[in-house]
């Protein structure tokens, strides 16, 4: 009996060891080269594996490769290590088909074998920041003042940071999962009064959101009561005939307050519009109050941006954005901004082809801009507007391109045609500034066929 057991064990363990040793992967922070025979084994070996599906002939892939090599050892050294791998998806077509690879490079992070597309930046340092985000806990529990500041520091400047004070993590877990790719979430458990002063809140529960990249923060005090499941206040109206389903429904609609705050706080109160932020805005259904100014960096622009922030915090159903003609001329000019147009100019844009001018509030003068912004918003809400269409095919083309990667090919074509037309018409060439902007955007987000 013992003999049988022992021999079974030997057989079993030898099967086990051969099946393991047949796929041994280096975990020294190099980029693993995978193929059809070891791809699945890699997925099941590593909790987190970041895969570059490349083609040897693709230029963007070649530019990405050294960045991956730089990022790989850092990713391998994280508390939740991420293994970096690449697979020639042009050659291993079965893998390419399985993961629906239709462009190169395609990047995916596999978490416990489940793929998620990665559209983040491709420079090594930023890539590390974005990937860290993917593998972080949904809600970090911070139990000291220094844990709070360390968390915020480590979060970097690419995402907003939410810190719940007087919350239990279970209360925001669902939303944290839902918005995981767009923000950091945490709850603070033990902290001193200094923290309340530092983050400027005076009661709890409070949800603080920080935009480290924009040096901005705001606070949400609720309503949390209804959301916490009470049948008090506004919900009492219908409580006489509430069923279980309805109760769940009302609870969910109360939770919407919190979700709305989170959704609306993914952007800073006043958002500079550039190629990156415009891409993020695509996911937001709100209309955009767009202020077009001469130059975003001037002192008087900064004054106005402050006013816009104040207006934004009182009008959270709208996004407040601004753009300097100096910063992005092509975009600004799509809204009837000419040399003689008085700036700053305000419009309400639907994020697509249409926008509205408010009658009598087209441009702001220098005096008391706060009241002028208020009048603009009143005029807009009263419907005292003129509807217009965005001009300039290049900007609309750009905006449309945000819908899907494939359209980038079309844009390239359109831009080529436009440049041809420009050359034929012997108009002024593209300015160096816009060209650089376009290029830097290109390298971080575009795909090559
Ligand atoms: C896949 O890669 C492994 C390790 O480099 C190698 O041993 C194996 O032969 C490769 N298989 C195929 C099908 O290329
Ligand atoms: C707080 O959250 C933890 C983890 O989700 C849970 O186990 C605990 O019951 C919650 N406490 C309260 C008071 O809700
Ligand atoms: C509703 O709120 C009031 C005070 O605002 C409180 O006295 C009452 O107990 C609450 N009722 C329930 C059911 O929570």
Would you state the pLDDT for residue 236? 30
User: Whole-prediction pTM value?
Assistant: 0.66
**Residue 220 near residue 160 (C-beta atoms within 8 A):** no
Please state, in angstroms and rounded to a whole number, the distance separating the CA atoms of residues 435 and 422: 14
Cβ 44 under 6 angstroms from ligand 1 = no
CATH architecture of the domain with range 22-132: 3-Layer(aba) Sandwich (3.40)
Domain 136-264 has CATH 3.10.20.30: no
Structure tokens at 251: 């609870």
For ligand 3, the distance from its centroid to the CA atom of residue 134, given in whole angstroms, is 41
Cβ 37 under 6 angstroms from ligand 1 = yes
pLDDT along the chain (449 residues), means of 10: 57 49 76 95 95 96 96 92 96 95 94 89 90 88 94 88 93 91 92 93 92 89 57 34 43 71 91 89 91 96 95 92 95 92 96 94 94 96 94 65 52 65 57 42 44
Would you state the pLDDT for residue 244? 43
Residues with catalytic roles: 58, 61
Cβ 232 under 6 angstroms from ligand 3 = yes
Tell me, rounded to whole angstroms, the distance of Cα 69 from its chain centroid. 25
Would you state the pLDDT for residue 8? 56
For ligand 2, the distance from its centroid to the CA atom of residue 257, given in whole angstroms, is 21
Q: Which fold has domain 270-399?
A: Glutaredoxin (3.40.30)
Same topology for domains 22-132 and 136-264, yes or no?
yes
Q: Where are the alpha helices (DSSP H) in 22-77?
A: 39-45, 59-76
**Residue 207 near residue 219 (C-beta atoms within 8 A):** yes
Would you state the pLDDT for residue 69? 97
Domain boundaries, the chain: 22-132, 136-264, 270-399
Would you state the pLDDT for residue 402? 56
Residue among 138, 142, 168, 205 whose CB has most ligand 2 atoms within 8 A, to mutate: 168
Please state, in angstroms and rounded to a whole number, the distance separating the CA atoms of residues 127 and 344: 36
Would you state the pLDDT for residue 254? 55
Q: Longest Cα pair distance anywhere in the chain, in angstroms?
A: 98
Give the CA count within 13 Å in the CB-facing half-sphere of 449.
Answer: 6
Would you state the pLDDT for residue 376? 97
Would you state the pLDDT for residue 276? 83
Residue 42: CB atoms within 10 A of its CB come to: 20
């Amino acid at each position: 009996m013992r003999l049988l057991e022992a021999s079974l064990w030997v057989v079993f363990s030898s099967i086990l060891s051969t099946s393991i040793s047949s796929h041994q992967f280096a975990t020294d922070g190099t980029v693993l080269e995978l193929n059809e025979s070891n791809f699945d084994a890699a997925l099941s070996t590593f909790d987190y594996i970041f895969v570059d599906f490349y083609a040897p002939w693709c230029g963007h892939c070649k530019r990405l490769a050294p960045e991956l090599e730089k990022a790989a050892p850092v990713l391998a050294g994280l508390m939740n290590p991420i293994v970096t791998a690449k697979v020639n998806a042009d050659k291993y077509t079965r893998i390419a088909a399985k993961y629906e690879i239709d462009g190169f490079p395609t990047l995916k992070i596999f978490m416990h074998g489940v793929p998620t597309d990665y559209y983040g930046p491709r420079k090594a340092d930023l890539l590390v920041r974005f990937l860290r985000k993917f593998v972080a806990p949904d809600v970090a529990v911070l139990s000291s003042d220094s844990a709070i500041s360390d968390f915020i520091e480590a979060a970097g400047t690419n995402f907003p940071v939410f810190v719940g004070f007087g919350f239990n993590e279970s209360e925001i877990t669902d939303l944290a999962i839902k918005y995981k790719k767009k923000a950091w979430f945490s709850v603070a458990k033990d902290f001193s009064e200094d923290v309340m002063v530092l983050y400027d809140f005076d009661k709890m529960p409070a949800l603080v959101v920080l935009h480290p990249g924009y040096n901005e923060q705001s606070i949400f005090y609720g309503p949390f009561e209804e959301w916490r499941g009470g049948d008090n206040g506004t919900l009492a109206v219908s409580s006489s005939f509430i069923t279980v389903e309805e109760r769940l429904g009302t609870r969910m609609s109360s939770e919407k307050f919190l979700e709305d705050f989170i959704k609306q706080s993914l952007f800073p109160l006043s958002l500079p519009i550039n190629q990156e932020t415009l891409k993020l805005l695509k996911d937001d259904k709100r209309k955009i109050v767009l202020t077009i100014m001469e130059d975003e960096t001037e002192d008087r622009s900064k004054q106005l941006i402050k006013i816009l922030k104040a207006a934004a915090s009182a009008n959270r159903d709208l996004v407040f954005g601004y753009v300097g003609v100096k910063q992005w001329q092509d975009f600004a000019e799509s809204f009837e901004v000419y040399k003689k147009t008085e700036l700053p100019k305000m419009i309400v844009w639907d994020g697509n082809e249409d926008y509205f001018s408010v009658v009598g509030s087209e441009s702001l003068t220098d005096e008391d801009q706060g009241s002028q912004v208020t009048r603009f918003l009143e005029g807009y809400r009263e419907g005292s507007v003129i509807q217009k269409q965005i001009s300039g095919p290049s900007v609309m083309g750009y905006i449309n391109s945000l819908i899907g990667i494939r359209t980038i090919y079309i844009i390239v074509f359109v831009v080529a045609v436009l440049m041809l037309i420009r050359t034929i018409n012997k108009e002024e060439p593209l300015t160096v500034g816009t060209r650089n902007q376009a290029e830097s955007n290109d390298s971080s987000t575009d795909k090559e066929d």
